[in-house]
């Protein structure tokens, strides 16, 4: 089989760099395009890297002139912090939609007709009965960030329908963890998701605040469908390898990437203790929240289990069953050698690179954002990626 070469826009970021590592491991050559707004230069070391913006047509023409054998573009370039998108919607629409459209034009001009788009599960409205979602669930966005993904997906669907591009949109759920070889990982100094918080309190010798123990989940604690970023990367590899098959019948395909089960905070604590070999003290506090607005349903974080109908990646790349790869996920997230370079270093402009997390760039925690995001973290199935009732309550 002919060796594949892919262009990864945003390949210096958390997910894009992990996909690039998976490409290398699978004999696919990654070519990285990144403006380093939130990505890290060291994540591109040893890889073909073009520093620049996805809207820079001259640069993209040069990339294709130098790599005419690129078959597929993977678009991971975006700004992804929900509170920042609320504060600066224009900036988010510019970066995630306007520049994305320019990127599409540059790809088409260079005859690159396959696009794998990093989309988000934050655009779904959950099933009122079991709070689950699948690819056919209605789109009901809760934040400007999610709307930028939904709007851009609409553009992609139209462009694909016109026969201009073939597109696979992969909608993610809560990626955490890292490349098992620890080449890259989450590049922020103070991750605010539950696992990041556990790592921080473990190192600080503090207790983990478990907020909310009476949610309607299997053990009362909040539940999310955390997905190992390495599994996400594996799914991208499958999608690249089987692109033509997946898009044969429809030029625009949407596929959820999740485990379909979810992990509760208590389960995450247990996995953490298994990996570290030491108990993780926790302080349990009731959750504080207003009742959902009338008619508004809580959002579940798990995709539905596969069922006939929606497309699935060939090869079944994602794990199934209870606690999929949880210990591995914790282990790989714990060791973050790439974060050494972050110590004491103020990052330049740009938001924290994880959707639904608060906080500011430069590793300077914004207390309002931390509080906002932490409450999201501890929320159960109902709160989803950007719980509507919490938006605007950043205190």
Ligand X SMILES: NC(=O)c1ccc[n+]([C@@H]2O[C@H](COP(=O)([O-])OP(=O)(O)OC[C@H]3O[C@@H](n4cnc5c(N)ncnc54)[C@H](O)[C@@H]3O)[C@@H](O)[C@H]2O)c1
Residue 300 to residue 133: CA distance in whole angstroms: 7
> Quick check: 10 binds ligand X (CB under 6 A)?
yes
Q: Work out whether 76 is an interface residue with ligand X (CB under 6 A).
A: yes
The answer to whether 234 and 181 have CB atoms below 8 angstroms apart is: no
In sequence order, which residues have a C-beta less than 8 Å from that of residue 131 and are 6 or more positions away?
A: 297, 298, 299, 300, 302, 381, 382
Closer CB to ligand X, 83 or 213, in the complex = 83
DSSP 175: E
Member of 73, 77, 150, 265 binding ligand X (CB under 6 A)? 77
First-last CA distance in the chain? 55
Kindly indicate which of the ranges 73-81, 107-115, 206-214, 375-383 contains the residues binding ligand X, using the contact rule CB under 6 A: 73-81
Cβ proximity of 272 and 198 under 8 Å: yes
Tell which positions 104-143 bind ligand X, by CB under 6 A.
118, 120
Site for ligand X in 153-212 (CB under 6 A): 172, 175
Stretch 326-355: interaction string toward ligand X, x if CB under 6 A: ---------------------------xxx
Asked if 381 interacts with ligand X (CB under 6 A), we say no
* 3-class DSSP state of 293: coil
The token duo for 33 is 């395009």
Least distance in angstroms from the C-beta of 2 to ligand X: 27
**DSSP assignment of 149-195, as one string?**
HHHHHHHHHHHHHTTS-EEEEEEE--EE---TT-SS----SS--SHH
Is 35 a binding residue for ligand X by CB under 6 A? The answer is: yes
Of 22, 80, 301, 386, the one binding ligand X (CB under 6 A) is 80
Residues in the chain: 395
Task: Please tell me the distance from the alpha carbon of residue 45 to that of residue 56, in angstroms, as a whole number.
Answer: 22
- Smaller CB distance to ligand X: residue 160 or 376? 376
Nearest to 268 by CA among 349, 214, 329: 329
The minimum distance between CB 37 and ligand X, in angstroms, equals 4
**Which of residues 78, 210, 237, 329 is near ligand X by CB under 6 A?**
78
Alpha carbon distance 332, 109 (integer Å): 40
Cα(155)–Cα(161) distance, integer angstroms: 10
Query: CB of 22: closest distance to ligand X in angstroms?
Result: 13
Nearer to ligand X, 9 or 330 (CB): 9
Per CB under 6 A, does 95 bind ligand X?
yes
Residues classed as catalytic: 145
Q: How far is the CB of 209 from ligand X (least distance, A)?
A: 21
- What DSSP element (H or E) covers 48? strand 48-51
Where on the chain is the footprint of ligand X (CB under 6 A)?
A: 9-10, 12-16, 34-39, 53-54, 76-78, 80, 95, 99, 118, 120, 172, 175, 353-355
């Amino acid at each position: 089989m002919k060796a594949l070469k892919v262009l990864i826009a945003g390949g210096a970021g958390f997910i894009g760099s992990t996909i690039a590592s998976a490409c290398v491991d699978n004999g696919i050559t990654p070519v990285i395009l990144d403006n380093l707004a939130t990505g890290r230069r060291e994540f591109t070391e040893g890889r073909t890297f073009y520093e620049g913006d996805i809207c820079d047509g001259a640069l993209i023409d040069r990339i294709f002139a130098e790599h005419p054998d690129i078959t597929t573009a993977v678009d991971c370039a975006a700004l992804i912090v929900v509170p920042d998108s609320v504060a600066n919607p224009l900036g988010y629409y510019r970066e995630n939609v306007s520049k994305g459209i320019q990127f599409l034009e540059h790809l088409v001009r260079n005859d690159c007709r396959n696009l794998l788009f990093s989309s988000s599960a934050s655009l779904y409205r959950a099933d009122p009965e079991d709070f689950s979602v699948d690819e056919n669930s209605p789109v009901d966005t809760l934040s400007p960030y999610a709307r930028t993904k939904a709007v851009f997906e609409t553009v992609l669907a139209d462009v694909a329908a016109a026969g201009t591009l073939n597109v696979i949109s992969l909608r993610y759920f809560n990626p955490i963890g890292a490349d098992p070889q620890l080449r890259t990982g989450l590049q922020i100094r103070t991750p605010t998701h539950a696992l990041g918080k556990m790592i921080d309190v473990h190192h600080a010798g503090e207790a983990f605040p478990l907020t909310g123990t009476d949610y309607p989940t299997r053990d009362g604690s909040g539940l999310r469908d955390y997905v190992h970023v390495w599994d996400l990367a594996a799914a991208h590899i499958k999608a690249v390898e089987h692109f033509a098959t997946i898009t044969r019948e429809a030029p625009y395909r949407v596929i959820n990437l999740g485990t379909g089960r979810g992990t509760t905070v208590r389960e995450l604590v247990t996995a953490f203790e298994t990996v570290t070999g030491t108990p993780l003290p926790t302080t349990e506090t009731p959750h504080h929240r207003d009742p959902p607005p009338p008619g508004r349903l809580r959002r579940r974080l798990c995709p539905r289990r596969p069922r006939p109908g929606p497309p699935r990646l060939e090869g079944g790349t994602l794990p199934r069953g209870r606690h999929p790869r949880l210990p591995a996920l914790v282990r790989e997230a714990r060791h973050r050698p790439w974060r050494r370079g972050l110590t004491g270093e103020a990052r330049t402009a740009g938001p924290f690179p994880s959707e639904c997390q608060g906080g500011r760039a430069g590793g300077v925690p914004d207390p309002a954002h931390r509080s906002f995001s932490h409450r999201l973290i501890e929320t159960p199935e109902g709160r989803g990626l950007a719980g509507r009732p919490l938006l605007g309550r950043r205190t």
